[in-house]
Amino acid sequence: MSRRAWSLIAALMVSIIYGVSFTIAKDVMPTYVKPYGFILLRVIGATILFWAVSFFGPKEKIQLNDFPRIIAAAFFGVALNMLTFFKGLNYTSPISASVIMVTTPIIVMILSAILIREKVKPRKVLGILIGLFGAGFLILYGRSIGNATNATWGNLLVFINAVSYAFYLIVVKKLMDKYNAFTFVKWIYTFGLLMVLPFGWSECQQIQWGIIPFDILWAIGFVIVFTTFLTYLFNLVSMRELKPTTVAVFIYLQPLIATLYAIVLGKDALTTVKIISAVLIFAGVYLVTQKVKTDS
Q: Please provide the average confidence, as pLDDT, over all residues in the chain.
A: 81
Is 84:143 a contact under the CB 8 Å cutoff?
A: no
* CA-to-CA separations, 155 to 62, 99, 158, in angstroms, rounded: 37, 10, 5
Residue 85: pLDDT over 70: yes
pLDDT at 135: 73
Q: How far apart are CA 87 and CA 256, in angstroms?
A: 22
Q: How far apart are CA 296 and CA 292, in angstroms?
A: 11
pLDDT at 49: 95
Provide the whole-model pTM: 0.77
Is 237:58 a contact under the CB 8 Å cutoff?
A: no
- How does pLDDT run across 21-69, given as a tens digit for each residue? 877 877 887 789 998 999 999 999 999 999 999 888 888 899 999 999 9
DSSP per-residue letters across 87-153: HHHHHS-HHHHHHHHTTHHHHHHHHHHHHS-----HHHHHHHHHHHHHHHHHHHH---SSS-S-HHH
- How does pLDDT run across 109-159, given as a tens digit for each residue? 777 777 767 676 787 778 778 877 777 776 666 655 455 567 788 888 888
pLDDT at 79: 95
Domain ranges in the chain are 3-289
Mean per-residue pLDDT for 228-252?
72
| Local structure of 267: helix, strand or coil | coil
Is 90:35 a contact under the CB 8 Å cutoff?
A: yes
